[in-house]
Amino acid sequence: MPTAILTGQPVPGSSIEGDLRSLGFEVRLASGTADAETLLAQVPAGERVAVVDARFVGHVHALRLGLTDPRFPLAAIPGAVTAQPAGRRALTRAMARENSADAGTADADTATDGGIALAEGLADRIADALDTDGAEVHRPELGSLVAAVPADPQARNEARQAVSAVDDEAVRLKSAVKARDGFFTTFFVSPYSRHLARWCARRGLTPNQVTTASLLTALIAAACAATGTRGGFVAAGVLLIASFVLDCTDGQLARYSLQYSTLGAWLDATFDRAKEYAYYAGLALGAARGGDDVWALALGAMILQTCRHVVDFAFNEANAGDPAATANTSPTAALSDRLDSVGWTVWVRRMIVLPIGERWAMIAVLTAVTTPRVTFYALLAGCAFAATYTTAGRVLRSVTRRARRTDRAAKALADLADSGPAAEALARVLGRLPARPPLGARTLVALPGGALLVLAAALEPYGSALPVAAAVLYTVTSAAAVALPLKGALDWLVPPLLRAAEYGTVLLLAAKAEVNGVLPAAYGLVAAVAYHHYDTVYRIRGGAGAPPHWLVRAIGGHEGRTLVVVALAALLTAAQFEVALTVLAVAVALVVLAESIRFWVSAHRAGAPAVHDEGEPA
């Protein structure tokens, strides 16, 4: 149980003790700074501890934001400071220093009164001392919420009136909604899903439970779509929307109750992809029952959506630590800011990128009223336009401002490239390849090999050896692309180019085989590999770095898998190719899933810092 140390003279009629207990704190009273330091030392090192001024007046939600958020080792609001286990050492040092200063200030005759008087401002002085020490202290944005330490009765009365004037529950409910979201989510889901989130919180449900419910609902929707009947398609569309409502609810529940966790962030992110791609598979199965083979369209939609996400991840990682990225100094960024100043353009621009809300709403409606083929055509067209729009804007931003790529950013891009043993060995040999052009030669080196590989797979008949030769060239160019740090202005395009080449080759070779079952096997293989790439992203975002090197080597890296697939297509009959792809898909999925689950569960149990993504809509 977390502990709150209440310092200073108790104020008659104050609700601070009850408020702290309602938040789960065990309250201990300190008569002076020395007593506060003693109580702090008695709190177990593995528990959260807070120091709160007894004169505090404010909303309970202000205390909740300041003292219970699991994402930050140190946090403070006026009159209160808290530390999780990771921040305890810094808090203990600051407390000891304040106690020493108070001991020297208090007169021997008035040690007791002086101690109480000094203890009354202890929380704020500790927060200032932490700032002086260079510790990172989170200070939540309180907005209209009140958090104050009145110095006299009149100020206390004014603070209490200010508390009465603001409904903190209404503020809490409003803040449960993501600040930046899509049009459909903002106007058609969040107005009621936040109330559902509060209902869940009051019944003790956790975000992870709601996330799991959303996954199960989407899987049932996929099963309904797989029936191939009109009733099944209508039920699938309705259930897909219900799954999305629950998907919004889990994040809103996390924000409402501040139940952030490493495991929860991973589940939320990976389940979103699992739900969407399982639904694509359900649509393809349903179409097959009606005699229409749309597996190539389903696989194409998954590839396009995955590559879109890799573009997002790579661009964001490339600009991590770049002041120009946040300053919006490029002409393109300035134009974007001007467009955002016109109200309606904000929503239009958010809709045309087809975020998850708009995308799922479109899929659900088209599933219910049209056919899977029409649904996939619309999805591919919409995602292609969105990908072109967002990528073009990011390219313009990159070439019109001076990029300052950090070593961390270059390392993240190299990890996202997913190079295997062959590419790594060649990269060591090609490490002296010049790369001086301002746009970054790495991208220009990776593009020809990938393009030739895809062209060979598209133009040559099944069984041709030419794609094998193209895959060898692709291995060389991809190795050359990562031989030096990816610090060029456009080098964030290298990972998505590699993803498009690998996934696209699998799709084209499977389509050329023209045997029932090859495309579903290819779908399973790409899904397993895509999961590995998403898992890499979420590890990097969580500060854990890329997956272990043995895992990347075990599944071959992007170039190793590509070489294996093109070799299998050249050596095996179409029927044998289907079996080989199925075996490869199962093997990759088992290895990747086992390591991913092991890592995230162990990270959660070890108390890894809680994370929560409030970035662009997925």
Q: What is the 3-state secondary structure (H, E, C) of 416-474?
A: HHCCCHHHHHHHHHCCCCCCCCCCCHHHHHHHHHHHHHHHHHHHCCCCCCHHHHHHHHH
Phi-psi region for residue 464, left (φ > 0), alpha (ψ -120 to 50) or beta? beta
Q: Considering the chain, what percentage of its residues have pLDDT values greater than 90?
A: 75
**135-139, 268-272, 521-525 — which is least confidently predicted?**
268-272
Q: What is the pLDDT of residue 87?
A: 95
Q: What is the pLDDT of residue 451?
A: 96
What pLDDT, in 10s, does the model give residues 29-75? Answer: 998 899 999 999 999 999 999 999 999 999 999 999 999 999 999 99
**54-58, 307-311, 319-323, 433-437 — which is least confidently predicted?**
433-437
State how far the Cα of 91 lies from the Cα of 5, in Å rounded to an integer: 13
Q: What is the DSSP letter of 547?
A: P
What pLDDT, in 10s, does the model give residues 536-564? Answer: 999 998 888 889 999 999 999 999 999 99
What pLDDT, in 10s, does the model give residues 440-483? Answer: 457 788 889 999 999 999 999 999 999 999 999 999 999 989 98
Helices and strands, counts by H and E, the chain: 28, 7
**92-96, 271-275, 405-409 — which is least confidently predicted?**
405-409
pLDDT classification of 309: cutoffs 50, 70, 90: very high
**What integer best gives the mean pLDDT of the chain?**
90
Strand order in the sheet with 80-83: 26-30, 3-7, 49-53, 80-83, 74-77
Q: What is the pLDDT of residue 110?
A: 45
Contact criterion met (CB below 8 Å) for 244 and 360: yes
DSSP H stretches of helix in 50-109: 60-67, 88-105
- Rounded mean pLDDT, 233-238: 98
Q: What is the pLDDT of residue 403?
A: 64
- Rounded mean pLDDT, 171-175: 95
DSSP secondary structure string for all residues of 182-199: -HHIIIIIHHHHHHHHHH
What pLDDT, in 10s, does the model give residues 101-122? Answer: 766 665 544 444 445 556 778 9
Q: What is the pLDDT of residue 438?
A: 44
Count of C-beta atoms within a 10 Å radius of residue 383: 20
Q: Considering the chain, what percentage of its residues have pLDDT values greater than 70?
A: 90
pLDDT at 332 over 60: no
Q: What is the pLDDT of residue 441?
A: 59
- Rounded mean pLDDT, 129-157: 95
In the chain, the N- to C-terminal Cα span, in Å, equals: 36
CA distances from 533 to 105, 130, 407, 481, 540 (A): 59, 39, 21, 18, 11
State how far the Cα of 466 lies from the Cα of 474, in Å rounded to an integer: 12
What pLDDT, in 10s, does the model give residues 600-617? Answer: 999 888 776 666 554 444
Sign of the dihedral defined by the CA atoms of residues 352, 315, 537, 509, in that order: positive
- Rounded mean pLDDT, 489-509: 96
pLDDT at 168 over 80: yes
Count of C-beta atoms within a 10 Å radius of residue 616: 15
pLDDT classification of 433: cutoffs 50, 70, 90: low
**1-15, 51-65, 290-304, 324-338 — which is least confidently predicted?**
324-338
Contact criterion met (CB below 8 Å) for 226 and 286: yes
pLDDT at 194 over 50: yes
For residue 549, the number of C-alpha atoms closer than 13 Å in the C-beta half-sphere is 3
pLDDT at 334 over 90: no
- Rounded mean pLDDT, 510-518: 95
Contact criterion met (CB below 8 Å) for 261 and 70: yes
pLDDT at 293 over 90: yes
Helix (H) or strand (E) holding 555: none
pLDDT at 435 over 90: no
CA distances from 541 to 112, 468, 534, 536, 544 (A): 50, 35, 11, 9, 8
pLDDT at 201 over 50: yes
Helix (H) or strand (E) holding 139: none
**140-154, 167-181, 316-330, 590-604 — which is least confidently predicted?**
316-330
